[in-house]
Structure 1
Amino acid sequence: MIALIARLLGVNTLAAGLITYGAAALLLGGSLWGYGAYKHHEGYSAGQLAERLVWQEQQRRAQIKAEAKAKAQQVEIDAAALEYAKQQHADEQHIASLEEDIRLQKDEDLGPSDPKTGPACHAGIPARVSIGIDGVGR
């Protein structure tokens, strides 16, 4: 084969041998380099995929943890809102009860009007004026 290459190229047998073996070495070296580059790229891609999967799993766990925390906080907020609404209702009832007691006390302070002597005369602010003042003050 080297003799055939030497005849085609018109060089002596030694030069043809060097050219042939050099070409073979170049072809073999390029093939090995290409295979190494292919394997490197394949390993790099596999590593990227593995890291991406780990990162996605961490993100999923962090999201689940954040959702659980938000849910717990919402439960606390709902409980506080319910307690506040109950307290408001109790305060409204207490205020209504106190206002009713005030009206009853004012009626009692004025006393019943006696038809013979006229309305009872007491020192202080009349009930209508006091109730009007209370209304303005609120």
Structure 2
Amino acid sequence: MIALIARLLGVQTLAASLIVYGGAAALLGGSLWGYGAYKHHEGYSAGQLSERLVWQEQQRKAQIKAEAKAKAQQAEIDAAAFEYASQQRADEQHIASLEEAIRQQKDEDLGPPDPKTGPVCHAGIPGGVSTRIDAIGR
């Protein structure tokens, strides 16, 4: 085969053999390099897929934890809002009872004068009512 190539190219047998062996070496080296590059790419793709699956699983677990945390926080917020609303209703009832006590006391203070003792003048709010109003911060 080398002799045939030498005659076709018009070169000596040594030059033809170098060309043939060099070409064969280039083909073999290129093939090995190509196969190595293929295997490298195949391994890289498999590793990339594996890492992506691990990352997606971590993201899914993090999402579940975040949702559970958000639900727990929302439950705490709802409980606090309910407690606040209950306290507001209790405060409103307490304020209403205190205002009623003030009205009664004013009616009593402004009532008709006692004919025996004369007009009664009570200045201000009685101490008991005042203390109860101060207790709720009004």
Tell me by how many angstroms 1:54 deviates.
1.1
Taking the aligned partners of 2:41 and 2:15, their CA distance within structure 1 comes to 38
Letter in 1 for 2:20: T
Q: Structure 2 CA distance, aligned partners of 1:73 and 1:125?
A: 52
Residue 96 of structure 2: aligned partner: 96
Distance between the aligned counterparts of 2:83 and 2:67, measured in 1?
24
TM-score (norm 1): 0.78
Question: Number of aligned pairs?
Answer: 124
CA distance in 2, matches of 1:109, 1:19: 129
Task: Return the letter of the residue paired with 1:74.
Answer: Q
Residues 38-60 of structure 1, C-alpha deviations (whole Å, 9 max, x = no match): 11111112111211221121112
Shift in alpha-carbon separation, 1:83–1:28, aligned structure 2, 3 A: same
Contact map agreement 2:109 2:121 (CA 8 A) in 1: no
Alignment of 1:44-55 (within 5 A): 44-55=44-55
Unmatched tracts of structure 2, length 5 or more: 126-137
Secondary structure, counterpart of 1:103 in structure 2: helix
The 1-side partners of 2:17 and 2:64 are apart by 70
**Structure 1: runs of 5 or more not aligned:** 128-137
| Match of residue 121 from structure 2 | 123
Does residue 23 (structure 1) correspond to residue 15 (structure 2)? The answer is no
Larger RCO (CA within 8 A; separation ≥ 6):
2
1:122 partner amino acid:
V
State the shift of 1:85 in Å. 0.5
Contact 2:109 2:122 in 1 (8 A): no
Q: SS at the partner of 1:71?
A: helix
